[in-house]
Structure 1
Amino acid sequence: MIELLLAVVAGALIGLSLGALGGGGSILAVPVLLALGQSPAQATTGSLVVVGVTSLAGAVTARRAGNVLLARGIAFGTVAIGGAVAGAHLSSAVPEAVLLAAFSALMLLVAGLMTLRQVRGRRGAGAHAAALERPQLDDPIITFSPTFMCQCPRALKVLVTATAVGLLTGFLGVGGGFLVVPALLLALALPMRYATGTSLVVITVTSAAALAARAGAGVVPDWRLVVTLTLTAVAGSVLGARLAARTDTRRLSAAFTGLVLAVAAYVAVLALPALV
């Protein structure tokens, strides 16, 4: 009963972050499942369910708001499937201590990127708002009609970035929204408004692919905890979206960055004794 209550609280926190800040919360799913007694393999597998379902719910909401380029998201996610499958198989081949250490390093990176985003947001808020009002989408990378045309350097950029995104999702069981959004900005030249919404489509596709790749590995998480965490995260994301319209999200983001740092330290404490 206590474990389920903790899962409800943690799921609400994850959802609030996703809804209010547009990302970051899903990275807490693995540490939460670890704290609830799951092994690293179970936690990263269960996290894929939380991440995938929550991202799907967010993608539907963003689609209704007109902030999703569905075809491009599916295309990028499809390219990323190879990396997701490879990452899922690789995660079962490395020691759990290495998996935890890699996850701790990832959380430190996320905290750093979130801090950088806060600083840049304060400096360029006006320019960012103007950019949202004037979205300009680029030309297709590959076309087959009326004649074949390929912007091959950009196609290679899409292949590399999508594979990296998939690999991260499959290996560590995270959505990687902090990586997917910059990847879409870099590889597809999407305006931020569309990159944020479209990233949810990519995360849904890669999470599903990684989960399918792990299906035969014999790793079975505690589905009661996973389902509870997922449902409360989805509900929390709706509440978070409403909260964002009434609250200074800069303060929320700063508080969440501190939380990510604290959790990164917790995961490092779990990993280091087994590494030395």
Structure 2
Amino acid sequence: MILEAFLGLLTGTLLGLLGGGGSIIAVPILVYFLGMQAKSAIGISLIIVGLASILAALSHLARRQLIFRAALLFGLAGIPGSFVGAWVAGFLSDTVQLSLFALLMLFMGILMFRQRAEREVGKADSNSNRPSASLKRSNRIRALITSGVGAGFLTGLLGVGGGFIIVPALILVVGLPVKKAIGTSLVIIGINSLAGALAYATAYDSHLKLAGGILPYAAATIVSAPVAGYLAYYLEADKLKKAFAGFLLLLSIWMLAKQTSGI
């Protein structure tokens, strides 16, 4: 129970601090520490992450670091993507699904480690947080919807929040400053995750078996996420992101080795 609560605390803290990036560790924890099957882990993680994201967004809302219009447009676009992703997941075995998850985690770790998003943030901030002048309003809306559908698809397929797509899109396409992008992304992740959870509940209800220890893990995640969202305004997250990126790289390699070796 203590281990499960600690892992939930870790997930919620990373979720609140990084605007969704931390949610990617929920599925590996449920599979490898709590012994759940892949589809059960994804379905349950979507419920936990969805609720935790909405609660974490409240701390950003209190500081007016959240843009509802962008969140609703992006999030609503992600709902059909979540259902399609969940449908496609039905054709994948657990091994294939977890291997794809590990590859995505590897990509995300490399992306975070190289800090491409941070460099683009600096460019956006130096331009008064305005979106690229080469993008017309109609093109920005189209790009936002496309990004939303893509993020929703990944949420339904693999159970990831898609923050690594959402935050850069909000910064580069909409022109939001980084803190508003993080706050807004939490609402989007909440919408996508709960839509994905509904898709899994209807398509794979027989798979959604609760594992022992899920309650302390879920409770710790949901409680710690909004607290971490509040603390995000007082902490320098760059070093945390770099350390987390290294952790993702190691975890993804371990997952790939485990899936390919059948250990």
Name the TM-score class by shorter chain. Answer: 0.7 to 0.9
What is the rounded CA distance, in whole Å, between the counterparts of 2:159 and 2:237 in structure 1? 26
**Residue range with higher mean Cα deviation, 207-216 or 26-35:** 207-216
Q: 1:125 to 1:184 in 2, by over 3 A?
A: closer
Q: CA deviation at 1:185?
A: 2.7
**TM-score under structure 2 length normalisation:** 0.85
What is the rounded CA distance, in whole Å, between the counterparts of 1:18 and 1:99 in structure 2? 22
**Residue range with higher mean Cα deviation, 19-28 or 162-171:** 19-28
The question of whether the paired residues in 1 share the 8 Å contact of 2:20 and 2:53 is answered with no
Q: 1:126 to 1:78 in 2, by over 3 A?
A: closer
* Aligned match for 2:166, one of 140, 156, 180: 180
* Structure 1 residue 12 corresponds to structure 2 residue 9: yes
What is the rounded CA distance, in whole Å, between the counterparts of 2:111 and 2:155 in structure 1? 18
* Aligned match for 1:62, one of 60, 63, 77: 60
Report % sequence identity: 31
Q: In the TM superposition, what are the counterparts of 1:151-190 in structure 2 within 5 Å?
A: 151-190=137-176
What is the rounded CA distance, in whole Å, between the counterparts of 1:215 and 1:90 in structure 2? 15
Q: CA deviation at 1:229?
A: 2.1
Q: 1:154 to 1:21 in 2, by over 3 A?
A: closer
One-letter code aligned to 2:3: L
Q: 1:251 to 1:71 in 2, by over 3 A?
A: closer
**Residue range with higher mean Cα deviation, 21-30 or 47-56:** 21-30
Q: CA deviation at 1:105?
A: 0.4
Q: 1:192 to 1:242 in 2, by over 3 A?
A: closer
Partner of 1:96: 94
Q: 1:10 to 1:115 in 2, by over 3 A?
A: same
What is the rounded CA distance, in whole Å, between the counterparts of 2:13 and 2:76 in structure 1? 28
* Aligned match for 1:260, one of 217, 231, 248: 248
- Secondary structure of the equivalent of 1:159? helix
Q: Which has the larger radius of gyration?
A: 1
Q: CA deviation at 1:7?
A: 1.6
* Structure 1 residue 31 corresponds to structure 2 residue 28: yes
What is the rounded CA distance, in whole Å, between the counterparts of 1:67 and 1:249 in structure 2? 17
Partner of 1:147: none
One-letter code aligned to 1:167: F
Q: 1:266 to 1:229 in 2, by over 3 A?
A: same
Segments of structure 1 that go 5 or more residues without pairing to the other structure are: 142-149
The question of whether the paired residues in 1 share the 8 Å contact of 2:85 and 2:153 is answered with yes
| CA deviation string 1:74-112 (max 9, x = no partner) | 121111111110001111221111101100001111111
One-letter code aligned to 1:153: N
Q: CA deviation at 1:247?
A: 5.2
* Aligned match for 1:81, one of 74, 79, 82: 79
One-letter code aligned to 1:207: S
One-letter code aligned to 1:272: T
- Secondary structure of the equivalent of 1:215? helix
| CA deviation string 1:52-78 (max 9, x = no partner) | 011101111111110111122112111
One-letter code aligned to 1:46: I
Partner of 1:144: none
- Secondary structure of the equivalent of 2:114? helix
* Structure 1 residue 201 corresponds to structure 2 residue 201: no
What is the rounded CA distance, in whole Å, between the counterparts of 2:260 and 2:188 in structure 1? 33
Q: CA deviation at 1:40?
A: 0.8
The question of whether the paired residues in 1 share the 8 Å contact of 2:56 and 2:229 is answered with no
Partner of 1:52: 50
The question of whether the paired residues in 1 share the 8 Å contact of 2:18 and 2:182 is answered with no
Q: In the TM superposition, what are the counterparts of 1:130-169 in structure 2 within 5 Å?
A: 134-135=128-129, 151-169=137-155
What is the rounded CA distance, in whole Å, between the counterparts of 1:124 and 1:42 in structure 2? 36
